[in-house]
């Protein structure tokens, strides 16, 4: 039985990965901050089957002790200040967790067992103001938010530890991926919940920022399978995880409101206050490498994913 440690296990990716690995007979350990109110909803059904540690990436000594105790074969790092706009308000915290925290975790692995396979959740936000489209593993990075800068540091420090200490560490440069477990402050969930509230008469309008921004949106359960595949390879490597298709926020609105059979134009109001200080206009991933080398491809369509999210929000609100 393989043993796995998942940081950020209560989040979207961590919870889906935990469920996925339990089905593959892994023994699952997770890092979670117990002080976060209501953060266990995503893992509620699997709590009896996993072991949790109350820790984060700030405490180096606790990381060493936890790795010594659970003796993982694989470590997946999802712990992060993950909402990009909030990183403008807490840039030091974003750096402390998303950048320096990853160094602490890698160093703890070196201290205990440098043969542990490691996955770092890198981000398409690192591409920033893109110089080419679509973006692949060789595209230059030009981050334009504190979140993206911290993620780029973590990406490079993971590569550095792989080269210097021979840790079998891989980075997944994941483009946006969504699900009913996405946090309510993310634009996809904001739209699907907003549409559900309008359908049920809870609210009448939805305030949005930039409707022209485009993203490559995939389905989180599909993406965690790609992450797992990366650590099953004989050699570590870095991969873009993406659908290769882009949709604008306006298309997102159209898709969500079509499910509730309402015209989005009658309910959506643009608010300049909701624009980012700097915004990305087009992120589009080229996942050729992972498709060819790992035989991975996304399964669920954008439309099916958004409809699932709207239905989930309707059910919860009812």
> Looking at the DSSP assignment, which residues form a beta bridge with residue 117?
74
Strand 238-241 with 206-208, pairing: unpaired
Q: Which of the residues 123, 124, 145, 179 is marked catalytic? A: 123
- Give me 242's structure tokens: 């993406």
Q: Which of 75, 157, 86 lies closest to 114 in space, CA to CA?
A: 75
Active site residue 96: no
Q: Which of the residues 76, 147, 161, 223 is marked catalytic? A: 147
Q: Which residue has the tokens 């909701």?
A: 274
Active site residue 123: yes
- R_g of the chain, CA atoms, integer Å: 19
Q: Which of 142, 281, 283, 151 lies closest to 218 in space, CA to CA?
A: 283
Residues constituting the chain: 318
- Give me 147's structure tokens: 């979140």
Q: Which of 184, 215, 213, 187 lies closest to 279 in space, CA to CA?
A: 213
Q: Could you tell me which residues come within 8 angstroms of residue 24 by beta carbon, excluding any fewer than 6 positions away?
A: 2
A 10 A CB-CB count for 201 gives: 7
Q: Helix and strand tally (H, E) in the chain?
A: 10, 13
Distance CA 209, CA 187 (A): 9
Q: Which of the residues 15, 74, 122, 125 is marked catalytic? A: 125
3-state secondary structure of 233: coil
Q: Which of 83, 78, 104 lies closest to 94 in space, CA to CA?
A: 83
- Catalytic positions, written as ranges: 123, 125, 147
């Amino acid at each position: 039985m393989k043993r796995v440690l998942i940081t950020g296990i209560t989040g979207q990716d961590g919870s889906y990965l935990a469920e996925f690995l339990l089905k593959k007979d892994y023994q699952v350990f997770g890092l979670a901050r117990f002080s976060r109110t209501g953060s266990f909803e995503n893992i509620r059904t699997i709590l009896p089957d996993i072991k949790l540690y109350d820790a984060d990436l700030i405490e180096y000594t606790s990381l060493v002790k936890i790795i010594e105790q659970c003796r993982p074969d694989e470590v997946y790092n999802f712990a992060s200040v993950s909402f990009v706009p909030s990183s403008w308000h807490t840039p030091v915290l974003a750096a402390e967790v998303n950048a320096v925290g990853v160094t602490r975790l890698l160093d703890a692995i070196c201290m205990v067992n440098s043969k542990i396979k490691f996955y770092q959740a890198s981000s398409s936000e690192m591409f920033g103001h893109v110089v080419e489209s679509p973006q692949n593993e060789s595209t230059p990075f030009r981050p334009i938010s504190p979140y993206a800068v911290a993620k780029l540091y973590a990406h490079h420090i993971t590569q550095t530890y792989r080269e210097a200490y021979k840790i079998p560490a891989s980075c997944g440069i994941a483009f946006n991926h969504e699900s009913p477990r996405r946090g309510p402050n993310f634009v996809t969930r904001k739209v699907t919940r907003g549409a559900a509230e309008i359908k049920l008469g809870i609210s009448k309008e939805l305030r949005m920022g930039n409707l022209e921004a485009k993203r490559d949106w995939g389905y989180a359960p599909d993406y965690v399978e790609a992450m797992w595949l990366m650590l099953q390879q004989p050699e570590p490597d870095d991969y873009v995880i993406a659908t290769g298709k882009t949709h604008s926020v306006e298309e997102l609105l159209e898709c969500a409101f079509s499910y509730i059979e309402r015209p989005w134009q009658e309910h959506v109001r643009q608010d300049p206050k909701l624009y980012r200080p700097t915004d990305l206009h087009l992120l589009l991933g080229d996942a050729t490498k992972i498709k060819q080398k790992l035989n991975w491809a996304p399964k669920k369509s954008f439309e099916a994913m958004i409809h699932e999210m709207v239905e989930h929000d309707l059910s919860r609100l009812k």
